[in-house]
C-alpha cells in the first residue's frame, strides 16, 4: 500500500472566461421525459463531480482543448438531448426532464500552474478544486439547473484539466463515462457515438401494484442524513491509498480457502471495512453497516440495453456487531461482502424500485455506515479528447457533505507502471492514523512471517514491536 498525499499546499490562480450555455446543434423534440424510480430517489438529488488531468501532446500543437470540446458538445447533445434540458418536479416528488434544449453550462479557463507542480503522483484531494469546477449558482438544487456543467482549464505546460458536474438523477458512473467517452469520440472526428444512447427509463420503474419482496435496511430509519456527519474540516484527514498487485497479494493471504474465488474488490472492501471499524474504536455491541453500489445492468433477463445511461445501481447493505467484525478473521467480513453482492438479482432490483414508490423516494442511510463507490472499471480512465488518456480520472476529493462515510475506488497506475486502484476517503486524523496502522499490519504480514529484516540492525524495541505485530496477525488469521 502506498499512502499518497495530495498537493494540499499548492495554490494557483485561475482566470475564467464568461460562462456559456451550449445547446444541441439541431432542433430537438420538445417533450417531457419521466425518470425511472431508481433515478429519482432523493439520495441522488445532487450533481457529482468528476476531474480529468491531461498532459500536453506535441501532436496537438497549439490546439486549444477548450475550443475542441466546445465545438463537439453541440453535435453530441443532438444524441443526448435530454441532458440539455431541465429537471422539473411532478406530483409525489416524481422527477421529469423537460427537454427544453437550453443546453449544458461550459466555461473555458486558464491556470498559472503546470501538471508537474501537482506532484509526482496525481491523486485526490486535488488542490484548488473549487477553482477548477464550473458551478452554476444554486445548481445544488437540481430543479431548473443545467444538468451538465463543464470547465476546461488550460495549464502553463500545455496540459489541461477537464471537470464535469453531472446531475446524478440523469446518470450513474457508467452512464457518465458513456457520455464523456462519446464526447471524446466527437472531438476526434466521429459523426456518431460508437454506442448510441438509450433512454427507456420505464425499464426501471416500479411494478403495478408495487411489491417489496426483500428487506432493504439500506433505507431504514432515515431522518436527515447530514445531521449525523457534521465534522469540522480541520478535524478530517483526507487520504489516498494505492493498492497494486503486491498489496492485493498480501491481503489475499488472509482469505480462507473456501473464499478464494472472491474478487479483488471484495477483498479490498472487506479489509477496509474491518480496519476502519477497528480504527473507529466502536462499541463492540453496536451494529455497523457496509453498503456498496452495484451495477445491475447485467442482472436482468433480457439485460438492460447497451447504451442505457440512466441509474442502474442498487445499494445492498450488510451489517455486523462491531466486536465480531473487529475480532473475527478477515474471512468473516469477506463473507458478508460476498453475501451482499450476491443479493443483487433482478427481483432485488425490482423490489428496490417498488420500495421507492411505496416510501416516496427515500434517502439511503449514512449513520454507522461505510459506503463504497467503485468506479475503477467504468472507463473514466479511457476518456480521450485527442490528447491521449488522462493521467488521473475520477472524483477529485472526499464527499464534504458526508465526511468519513464514503470511500471511492478509482483506477490508477503508480509511478512504477503497475496497474491498480486508489482508495480515496477521509476520517478524523487520529482515526486515520489507526486505520493506516491496521492496514500496515495486514500488508506486512508476509515480511514478518518470512523473517525478512532491514539492512540495518533492529533495536530491541523494534524487535519487540514486530513480535507483537506478528502474534496479533497470527491470532486474527
Q: Which of 57, 168, 295, 414 is catalytic?
A: 168
DSSP states of 170-215 as a string?
Answer: T--HHHHHHHHHHHHHHHTT-SS-SS--B--GGGGS--SS----S-
CATH fold for the domain made of 2-206: Chloramphenicol Acetyltransferase (3.30.559)
Maximum separation of any 2 CA atoms in the chain, in Å = 77
Alpha carbons within 13 A on the beta-carbon side of 413: 9
pLDDT of residue 237: 83
**Average model confidence (pLDDT) for the chain?**
89
d(CA 161, CA 319): 40
308, 175 in Cβ contact below 8 A?
yes
Q: What is the pLDDT of residues 297-316, one digit of tens each?
A: 999 999 999 999 999 999 99
Residue 320 backbone zone (phi > 0: left; psi -120 to 50: alpha; other: beta): beta
Please check whether residue 294 is in contact with residue 339, taking contact to mean a CB–CB distance below 8 angstroms: no
Question: Given this model, what pLDDT does residue 366 score?
Answer: 85
For residue range 349-390, list pLDDT tens digits in order: 999 999 999 999 999 988 889 999 999 999 999 999 999 999
Neighbouring residues of 201: CB distance < 8 A, sequence distance ≥ 6: 33, 34, 35, 36, 39, 310
Residue 401 has a pLDDT of 64
Residue 268: partners with Cβ closer than 8 Å, 6 or more residues away: 243, 248, 251, 409, 421, 423
The residue-averaged pLDDT of 173-199 equals 98
Query: Rounded to the nearest 10 degrees, how much is the dihedral formed by the CA atoms of 243, 244, 248, 250?
Result: -90
Cα angle 56, 62, 65 (rounded to 5 degrees) comes to: 65
CATH class of 217-381+388-446: alpha beta
Q: Which residue has the higher pLDDT, 363 or 403?
A: 363
Out of 364, 381, 384, 411, which one is annotated catalytic?
Answer: 384
- Rounded to 5°, the CA angle 176-119-16 comes to 55
At 399 the pLDDT is 66
- 115-124, 185-194, 231-240, 360-369: which has the highest mean pLDDT? 185-194
Report residue 2's pLDDT band, with 50, 70 and 90 as the boundaries: low
pLDDT, average across residues 67-88: 98
88-138, pLDDT tens digit by residue?
A: 998 888 999 999 999 999 999 999 999 999 887 788 889 999 999 998 776
pLDDT of residue 8 exceeding 70, the answer is: no
Report pLDDT for 218.
95
- State the average pLDDT over residues 273-300: 96
| Alpha carbon 333 to its chain's center | 22
The reply to whether 381 belongs to the active site is no
Lowest mean pLDDT among 42-46, 137-141, 351-355: 137-141
Residue 384 annotated in active site: yes
Average pLDDT score over residue span 68-89: 98
Is residue 141 very low, low, confident or very high in pLDDT (cuts 50, 70, 90)? confident
Give the pLDDT confidence score for residue 456 in this predicted structure.
33
Q: Is 80 exceeded by the pLDDT of residue 227?
A: no
Instruction: Give one DSSP letter per residue of 227-245, joined into a string.
Output: GGG---GGGEEEEEEEE-H
pLDDT per residue over 53-72, tens digit each? 999 999 999 999 999 999 99
Q: What is the pLDDT of residue 476?
A: 53
| pTM for this model (two decimals) | 0.90
More confident residue, 460 or 206: 206
State yes or no: pLDDT of 477 exceeds 80.
Answer: no
Amino acid at each position: 500500500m502506498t499512502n499518497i498525499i495530495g498537493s494540499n499546499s499548492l495554490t494557483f490562480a485561475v482566470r475564467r472566461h464568461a460562462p456559456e450555455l451550449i445547446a444541441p446543434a439541431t432542433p430537438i423534440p420538445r417533450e417531457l421525459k419521466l425518470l425511472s424510480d431508481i433515478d429519482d430517489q432523493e439520495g441522488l438529488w445532487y450533481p457529482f463531480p468528476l476531474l480529468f488531468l491531461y498532459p500536453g501532446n506535441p501532436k496537438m500543437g497549439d490546439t486549444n482543448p477548450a475550443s475542441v470540446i466546445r465545438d463537439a458538445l453541440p453535435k453530441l447533445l443532438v444524441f443526448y438531448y435530454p441532458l440539455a434540458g431541465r429537471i422539473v418536479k411532478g406530483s409525489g416528488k416524481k422527477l421529469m426532464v423537460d427537454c427544453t434544449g437550453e443546453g449544458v453550462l461550459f466555461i473555458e479557463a486558464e491556470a498559472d500552474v503546470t501538471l508537474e507542480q501537482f506532484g509526482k503522483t496525481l491523486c485526490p484531494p486535488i488542490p484548488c478544486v473549487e477553482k477548477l469546477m464550473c458551478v452554476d449558482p444554486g445548481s445544488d438544487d437540481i430543479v431548473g439547473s443545467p444538468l451538465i456543467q463543464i470547465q476546461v482549464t488550460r495549464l502553463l505546460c500545455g496540459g489541461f484539466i477537464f471537470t464535469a458536474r453531472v446531475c446524478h438523477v440523469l446518470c450513474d458512473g457508467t452512464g457518465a463515462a458513456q457520455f464523456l467517452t462519446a464526447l471524446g469520440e466527437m472531438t476526434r472526428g466521429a459523426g456518431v457515438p460508437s454506442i448510441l444512447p438509450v433512454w427507456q427509463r420505464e425499464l426501471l420503474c416500479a411494478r403495478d401494484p408495487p411489491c417489496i419482496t426483500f428487506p432493504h435496511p439500506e433505507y431504514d430509519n432515515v431522518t436527515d442524513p447530514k445531521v449525523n456527519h457534521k465534522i469540522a474540516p480541520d478535524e478530517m484527514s483526507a487520504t489516498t491509498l494505492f493498492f497494486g498487485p503486491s498489496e492485493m497479494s498480501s491481503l489475499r493471504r488472509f482469505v480462507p480457502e473456501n473464499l478464494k474465488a472472491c474478487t479483488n474488490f471484495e477483498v479490498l472492501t472487506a479489509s477496509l471495512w474491518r480496519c476502519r471499524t477497528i480504527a473507529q474504536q466502536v462499541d463492540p455491541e453496536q451494529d455497523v453497516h457496509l453498503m456498496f453500489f452495484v451495477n445491475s445492468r447485467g442482472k436482468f433477463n433480457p439485460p438492460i440495453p447497451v447504451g442505457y445511461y440512466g441509474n442502474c445501481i442498487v445499494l445492498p447493505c450488510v451489517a455486523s456487531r462491531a466486536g465480531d467484525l473487529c475480532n473475527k478473521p478477515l474471512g468473516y467480513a469477506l463473507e458478508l461482502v460476498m453475501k451482499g453482492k450476491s443479493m443483487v438479482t433482478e427481483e432485488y432490483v425490482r423490489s428496490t424500485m417498488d420500495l421507492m414508490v411505496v416510501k416516496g423516494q427515500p434517502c439511503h442511510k449514512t449513520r454507522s455506515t461505510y459506503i463504497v463507490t467503485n468506479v475503477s472499471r467504468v472507463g473514466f480512465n479511457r476518456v480521450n479528447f485527442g490528447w491521449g488518456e488522462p493521467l488521473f480520472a475520477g472524483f477529485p476529493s472526499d464527499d464534504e457533505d458526508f465526511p468519513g462515510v464514503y470511500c471511492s475506488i478509482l483506477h490508477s497506475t503508480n509511478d512504477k507502471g503497475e496497474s491498480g486502484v486508489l482508495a480515496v476517503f477521509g476520517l478524523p486524523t487520529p482515526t486515520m492514523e489507526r486505520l493506516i496502522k491496521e492496514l500496515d499490519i495486514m500488508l506486512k504480514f508476509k515480511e514478518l512471517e518470512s523473517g525478512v529484516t532491514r539492512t540495518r540492525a533492529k533495536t530491541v524495541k523494534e524487535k519487540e514491536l514486530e513480535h507483537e505485530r506478528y502474534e496479533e496477525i497470527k491470532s486474527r488469521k
